[in-house]
């Protein structure tokens, strides 16, 4: 009778111990600069469509002069629903359109300008591209963003203090009238740092605090793009290529977009322990030019896959420009290529051979009995479940053991970025048929997502060794895939 009571007591104590462990182990403290919920959601979009569209579409130029006749802009079959269908078919999350490029021409009837669709012959001056795109994105369940260049080669006040107020009112009009959904929400405001001469030969001293505060007031959830953010940063090139080391943090103090931006290398790599969370966005065009030119051809599927690996696969969002043609539609060659790219990506990432692996770690936050931060979380797809270590541990090892040999040539890793980016160096080892471990690949940062390209490898076990971290490491995904295309 005493033994039976004792056994019940032991079971009860163990149960209480396990429950206590789950409730008492605190999550890792956020480390350094961390993303806002909007920035996390933005990063999870991974790939969006850029649409360069305007007078340059019809003139054949890349940068307009600002003196183009408004009647030059006259799409014959504008179909923003077709843009949205193409973006949706490629599994892009949103569309950003060049509402106003450097030539100053506005794709909506901006009351601050006389160089807009309202002065054109298109639809007898009653057309509005932004209104149609807002409706199309809403219907398709896509997000919408705006590119509005502060450089204006048409505005007569450009180069004076008065222009900053004109530009503020331009932002005010566009940001309060357009966007996706019933609330007309914009997910990104894109600021180009270009600053050339206006029609009077003068350059403008941009009031960036005024511009950014206007966006924050009217579209508080919008991620603001520029060389220094504050929401996301230019990656430093137009090739769609983030640095192999790519921190989402950046020291922005003393810098401003354009001529005052950080060095290209810093934009490409970010700053370790940077003071602000300003993740990279890689913008690149599917064609050689940004605006549609009939003599150009889209990139190949292989080229687009390489861009994907060098952007999304290196902790950056990919903004892929797909320019509408003179009809106001995405060209068939481009839409076909995007669908081919999508099929390729779906094929590559369809089967994660790491699923079902036994996962063990040299350290687990709260000890072995606590399941909240278990190493097993890395093979699950729930974003907010992650493996974490005790605060004092910086160089743990994670081992995946497979029931049968697995073959792969792509390794995907993800840090749990809501609490910061931590890992600065790691390497991955494979277990050979002789039982010996050899290094397969070594790298630096991970961030939201890192996709490592490896030789085709068959193994029964894989070991991820964190060599350097600024705080206790976290990982919420380890996945293995086979690319038979690239």
User: How far does Cα 460 stand from its chain's mean position?
Assistant: 34
486 burial (CB, 10 Å; 0-12 / 13-18 / 19+) is middle
**Cis bond leading into 473, ω under 30°?**
no
pLDDT tops 50 at residue 4: no
Q: In the CATH scheme, what architecture does the domain 37-348 have?
A: Alpha-Beta Barrel (3.20)
Alpha-carbon distance values, 263 to 37, 256, 257, 260 (Å) = 28, 12, 11, 9
Average pLDDT over residues 329-333: 98
pLDDT of 203 reads 94
Q: Where does the chain hold its CATH 3.20.20.80 domain(s)? A: 37-348
pLDDT tops 80 at residue 406: yes
What is the CATH number that goes with domain 358-481? 2.60.120.260
Q: Where does the chain hold its CATH 2.60.120.260 domain(s)? A: 358-481
> pLDDT tens across 211-264, in order?
999 999 999 999 999 999 999 999 999 999 999 999 999 999 999 999 999 999
pLDDT of 18 reads 46
Question: Rounded distance, CA 286 to CA 301, Å?
Answer: 10
3-state secondary structure of 433: coil
The percentage of residues in the chain with a pLDDT greater than 90, rounded to a whole number, is 94
pLDDT of 63 reads 96
* pLDDT bracket for residue 369 (50, 70, 90): confident
pTM for the full predicted model: 0.95
pLDDT of 370 reads 87
pLDDT of 486 reads 87
């Amino acid at each position: 009778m005493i033994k039976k009571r004792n056994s019940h007591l032991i079971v009860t104590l163990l149960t209480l111990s396990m429950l206590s462990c789950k409730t008492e182990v605190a999550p890792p403290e956020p480390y350094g600069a961390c993303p806002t919920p909007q920035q996390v959601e933005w990063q999870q979009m991974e790939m969006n469509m850029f649409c360069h569209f305007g007078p340059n579409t019809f003139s054949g130029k890349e940068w307009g002069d600002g003196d183009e006749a408004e009647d030059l802009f006259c799409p014959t079959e504008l179909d923003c629903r077709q843009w949205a269908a193409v973006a949706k078919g490629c599994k892009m999350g949103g569309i950003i359109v060049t509402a106003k490029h450097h030539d100053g021409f506005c794709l909506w009837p901006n009351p601050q300008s006389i160089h807009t669709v309202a002065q054109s012959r298109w639809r007898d001056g009653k057309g509005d591209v932004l209104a149609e795109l807002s409706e199309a994105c809403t219907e398709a369940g896509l997000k919408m963003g705006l590119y509005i260049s502060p450089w204006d080669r048409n505005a007569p006040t450009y180069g004076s203090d008065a222009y900053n107020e004109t530009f503020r009112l331009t932002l005010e009009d566009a940001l309060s009238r357009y966007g996706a959904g019933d609330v007309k929400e914009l997910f990104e405001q894109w600021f180009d740092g270009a600053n050339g001469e206006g029609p009077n030969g003068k350059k403008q001293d941009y009031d960036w605090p005024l511009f950014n505060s206007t966006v924050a007031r009217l579209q508080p959830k919008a991620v603001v793009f520029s060389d220094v953010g504050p929401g996301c940063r230019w990656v430093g090139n137009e090739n769609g290529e983030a640095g192999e080391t790519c921190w989402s943090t950046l020291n922005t103090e003393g810098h401003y977009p354009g001529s005052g931006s950080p060095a290209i290398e810093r934009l490409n790599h970010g700053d370790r322990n940077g003071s602000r969370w300003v993740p990279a966005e890689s913008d690149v065009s599917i064609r050689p030019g940004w605006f549609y030119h009939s003599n150009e051809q889209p990139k190949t599927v292989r080229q687009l896959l390489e861009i994907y690996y060098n952007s999304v696969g290196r902790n950056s969002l990919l903004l892929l420009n797909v320019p509408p043609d003179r009809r106001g539609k995405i060209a068939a060659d481009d839409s076909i290529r995007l669908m081919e790219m999508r099929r390729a990506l779906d094929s590559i990432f369809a089967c994660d051979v790491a699923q079902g692996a036994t996962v063990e770690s040299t350290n687990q936050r709260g000890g072995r009995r606590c399941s909240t931060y278990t190493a097993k979380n890395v093979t699950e797809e729930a974003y907010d479940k992650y493996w974490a270590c005790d605060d004092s541990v910086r160089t743990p090892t994670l081992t995946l053991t497979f029931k049968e040999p697995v073959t792969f040539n792509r390794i995907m890793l993800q840090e749990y970025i809501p609490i910061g980016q931590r890992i600065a160096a790691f390497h991955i080892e494979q277990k050979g048929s002789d039982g010996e471990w050899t290094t397969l690949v070594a790298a630096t940062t991970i961030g939201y997502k890192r996709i490592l390209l490896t030789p085709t490898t068959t193994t029964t076990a894989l070991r991820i060794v964190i060599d350097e971290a600024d705080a206790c490491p976290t990982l919420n995904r380890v996945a293995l895939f086979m690319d038979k295309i690239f």
